[in-house]
């Protein structure tokens, strides 16, 4: 066992994690030692898959404003966003995009050399800055490159964090496994920032990479922290059928059409003003209604879906603005979007909920902050607007980095509780690694994803949610700690079993929260409760780990400027 000491440990290496580490270093002028613990090589974090852009008010002189961005975000959230958080976010977002520009971010440009922006769903102004359709990769590359200048930062690539160390309400570090050697590691720190991303892999049809398995949510949940608004899962309207690969919203922002089997742009019937650029929850429901009405098209395998028509944009524009999308479609489907309609349907894409934090990104555990998709501050509410996600990773990476730096600079280091360290090491190596049972963890994962795809998709019912919960709890009760591979080095079998606990726990919190919320709001669409119920449900769900399973509590939504109204697009 190795014990490492840092002033600040960042768990996760996506946009939020790298931006937080950079801010700790900047605020402390490299005096604070920062450790980044990430279960992948840092540049393989899921943030590299973001395609469309980052939202910010860059040109108020042309008609945009902070107020307009805030209003669009709050309306898009179906009024569940905390408006004080939204107001802070929209004011800081432009600073972050310009900060990246100073670091060398290769934004796409206007003819005059200024940062170009494109339309995006739910935004009343084209405020999404972009870099062709590779914005996440290039933002990550920019931040990763900038961190190389700071000798105080150490990145532990391919370390799997397994628990949060805490005592008397205070954070003390994390434990983990060095996947390269199989060694158990203890990382002691004065402050921590949780930036582990989302939980997309609780679904089978998803845009998320294989490592988006809710690990950070489990760490927080097991440490007694509440998860907030877990019932709100965003389904991106254009997941490429049959694989679920993301076809960026920028394809519609550049003028792409959604069409049914009759070739009609069916969004006229659902959002006549914004059409294909309505918020994602609206578009996803419209697609499923077309499919259920028998007006879908079929992919080569016979799957009912809808069409994304980019042919009218022309090959030259596709190569300039959407080169990666064209390449992906050709490589994975054998379809050139310059010549043929792409088959798409809603795919699980983003968790609006996450670890509950306050306006500063602080969790209820003193010394621990959360940022990015792992956190819920809440800016996104019941439905996130496209291109707000990368921006909020940058904004709250900066905020939590500054907060953690100030906290760590004023504290002496405390040792990690030894009993927690010993208990965690025994749990993994005497429990999970040597666990029994003959149930394949891969079969359990498949059954989990099938249950969620069936019961917690775009349209939900109490009956369907209940059946999915029953299946998830049956899977939890089985002996799935079946690790066939007993080697220590790169034991992916062990990793997958550990991830399975995260997936099952996240799925359970989603279902319990969704069953309780007897209304339709944003991405949570109940066929048995089709209306929004502000009198009862204008509040956030908190889910805690109880002795007999998840327990629920609620928080009021912070409303400052924009009273709830009916959403029309």
Catalytic choice (252, 285, 545, 567): 252
CA distance 103 to 149: 12
Q: Which two tokens stand for residue 107?
A: 């934004």
Q: Cβ(508)–Cβ(488) under 8 Å?
A: no
Of 113, 133, 121, 134, which Cα lies nearest the Cα of 317? 133
What is the phi/psi pair of residue 87, to 5°? -65, -40
Concerning whether 69 is annotated as a catalytic residue, the answer is: no
CA distance 446 to 426: 28
DSSP 20: H
- For residue 136, cis peptide bond before it (omega within 30 degrees of 0): no
Q: Quick one: residue 29, left, alpha or beta (phi over 0 = left, psi -120 to 50 = alpha)?
A: left
CA distance 476 to 363: 27
Q: Quick one: residue 545, left, alpha or beta (phi over 0 = left, psi -120 to 50 = alpha)?
A: beta
Q: Cβ(385)–Cβ(122) under 8 Å?
A: yes
Q: How far apart are the first and last CA of the chain?
A: 57
Q: Quick one: residue 116, left, alpha or beta (phi over 0 = left, psi -120 to 50 = alpha)?
A: beta
Residue 319, helix vs strand vs coil: helix
Number of CB atoms found within 10 A of residue 316's CB: 9
Of 24, 19, 32, which Cα lies nearest the Cα of 403? 24
Q: Contacts for 173-179 with beta carbons within 8 Å, 24 or more apart?
A: 173/9, 173/416, 174/9, 174/11, 174/37, 174/219, 175/420, 175/421, 175/424, 175/425, 176/37, 177/428, 177/494, 177/495, 179/39, 179/490, 179/491, 179/495
Q: Cβ(386)–Cβ(118) under 8 Å?
A: no
Question: What pairs with residue 192 in β-bridges?
Answer: 9, 368
Handedness of CA 311, 315, 316, 318 (dihedral sign): positive
Cα angle 160-426-449, degrees, rounded to a multiple of 5: 50
Q: Which helix (H) or strand (E) holds 117?
A: strand 117-118
Of 117, 80, 342, 365, which Cα lies nearest the Cα of 229? 80
Concerning whether 524 is annotated as a catalytic residue, the answer is: no
Number of CB atoms found within 10 A of residue 382's CB: 28
Catalytic choice (236, 445, 460, 567): 236
Question: What pairs with residue 173 in β-bridges?
Answer: 165, 188
The residues annotated as belonging to the active site are 236, 252
């Amino acid at each position: 066992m190795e014990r490492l000491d840092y002033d600040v440990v960042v768990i996760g290496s996506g946009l939020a994690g790298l931006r937080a580490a950079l801010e700790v270093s900047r605020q402390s002028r490299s005096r604070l030692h920062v450790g980044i613990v990430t279960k992948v090589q840092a540049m393989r974090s899921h943030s590299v898959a973001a395609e469309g852009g980052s939202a910010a008010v860059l040109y108020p002189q042309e008609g945009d404003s902070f107020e307009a961005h805030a209003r669009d975000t709050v309306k898009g959230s179906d009024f569940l966003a905390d408006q004080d958080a939204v107001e802070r976010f929209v004011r800081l977002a432009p600073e972050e995009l310009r900060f990246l520009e100073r670091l060398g971010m290769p934004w796409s440009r206007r003819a005059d050399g200024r940062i170009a922006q494109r339309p995006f769903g739910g935004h009343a102004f084209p405020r999404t800055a972009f870099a062709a359709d590779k914005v996440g990769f290039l933002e990550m590359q920019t931040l990763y490159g900038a961190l190389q200048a700071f000798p105080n930062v150490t990145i532990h690539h391919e370390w799997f964090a397994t628990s949060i160390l805490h005592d008397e309400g205070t954070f003390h570090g994390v434990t983990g496994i060095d996947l390269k050697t199989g060694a158990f590691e203890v990382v002691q720190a004065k402050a921590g920032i949780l930036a582990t991303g989302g939980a997309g892999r609780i679904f089978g049809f998803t845009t998320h990479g294989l490592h988006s398995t809710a690990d950070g949510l489990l760490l927080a949940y097991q440490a007694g922290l509440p998860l907030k608004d877990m019932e709100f899962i965003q389904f991106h309207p254009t997941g490429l059928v049959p694989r679920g690969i993301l076809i960026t919203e920028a394809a519609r922002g550049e003028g792409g059409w959604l069409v049914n089997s009759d070739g009609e742009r069916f969004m006229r019937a659902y959002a006549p003003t914004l059409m294909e650029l309505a918020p994602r929850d609206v578009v996803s429901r419209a697609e499923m209604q077309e499919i259920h009405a028998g007006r879908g098209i079929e992919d080569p395998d016979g799957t009912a879906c809808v069409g994304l028509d980019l042919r009218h944009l022309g090959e030259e524009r596709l190569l300039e603005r959407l080169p990666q999308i064209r390449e992906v479609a050709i490589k994975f489907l054998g379809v050139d979007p310059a010549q043929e309609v792409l088959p798409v349907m809603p795919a699980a894409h983003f968790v609006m909920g996450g670890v509950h934090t306050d306006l500063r990104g602080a969790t209820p555990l003193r010394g621990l902050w959360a940022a990015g998709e792992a956190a819920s501050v809440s800016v996104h509410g019941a439905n996130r607007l496209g291109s707000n996600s990368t921006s909020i990773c940058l904004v709250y990476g900066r905020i939590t980095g500054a907060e953690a730096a100030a906290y760590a600079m004023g504290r002496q280091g405390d040792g990690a509780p030894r009993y927690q360290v010993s208990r965690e090491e025994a749990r993994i190596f005497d429990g999970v690694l040597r666990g029994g049972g003959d149930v394949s963890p891969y079969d359990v994962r498949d059954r989990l994803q099938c249950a969620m795809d069936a019961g917690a998709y775009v349209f939900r019912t109490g009956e369907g949610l209940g059946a999915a919960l029953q299946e998830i709890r049956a899977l939890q009760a089985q002996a799935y700690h079946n690790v066939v591979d007993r080697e220590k080095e790169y034991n992916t079998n062990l990793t997958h079993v550990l991830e399975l606990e995260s997936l099952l726990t996240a799925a359970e919190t989603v279902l319990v929260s969704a069953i309780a919320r007897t209304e339709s709001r944003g991405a949570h669409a109940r066929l048995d409760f089709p209306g929004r119920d502000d009198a009862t449900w204008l509040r956030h769900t908190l889910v805690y780990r109880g002795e007999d399973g998840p327990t629920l509590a609620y928080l009021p939504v912070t409303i400052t400027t924009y009273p709830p109204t009916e959403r029309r697009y």
